[in-house]
Amino acid sequence: MPFFQIDLANFTPLAGLLGGAVIGLSAGLLVLLAGRIAGIAGIIGGLFSAGTLFNDPKGDRNWRILFILGLLLAPAVWSLFAPLPALGMVTSPVGLIVAGLLVGIGTRYANGCTSGHGICGLSRLSLRSLAAVISFMAAGFITVYLIKHVL
């Protein structure tokens, strides 16, 4: 079996290009219009930190809630134009919980999530974000290799 193989039946470069462009546009607009970074960990963390959800002293709540609503409503909008992809779990609920906890711990240690560092941090030429993205990617490569080829 080759080390790297493209599944041409499921290869969708135009959808990926469009998705990347929309993410880049939205991240850029958030920085330009609100002066905020589009990292979901920071957005959700800021919503719940210091009681922002119920007490909004800096006017920070509304844009955060709208951002999260946009993430949640996006599949409904997409389904108006095309069918949603089938969902499939390749692990148990316990595996999902452990994975979620590990991602959360990693996000805290990295001072941000993959979207914040990978999209927004790299575009600002942040060395901290570059180190974080290299760490995220290396951990992902090693994990997949171990699960697919060693275990």
pLDDT by residue (tens digit) across 30-42? Answer: 888 888 888 888 8
How many degrees, rounded to 5, is the angle at CA 88 between CA 120 and CA 106?
35
pTM for this model (two decimals): 0.71
d(CA 103, CA 113): 9
pLDDT at 91 over 90: no
d(CA 26, CA 44): 17
pLDDT at 9 over 80: no
Q: How many CB atoms lie within 10 A of CB 111?
A: 15
Instruction: Name the residue with tokens 């906890």.
Output: 101
Give me the pLDDT at residue 69, please: 93
- Please name which of 87, 82, 88, 52 lies closest in space to residue 68, comparing C-alpha atoms: 52
The three-state secondary structure class of 39 is coil
Give me the pLDDT at residue 134, please: 93
Instruction: Name the residue with tokens 């959800």.
Output: 53
pLDDT at 1 over 60: no
pLDDT at 115 over 60: yes
At 81, give phi and psi (nearest 5°).
-110, -30
Percent of the chain with pLDDT over 90: 15
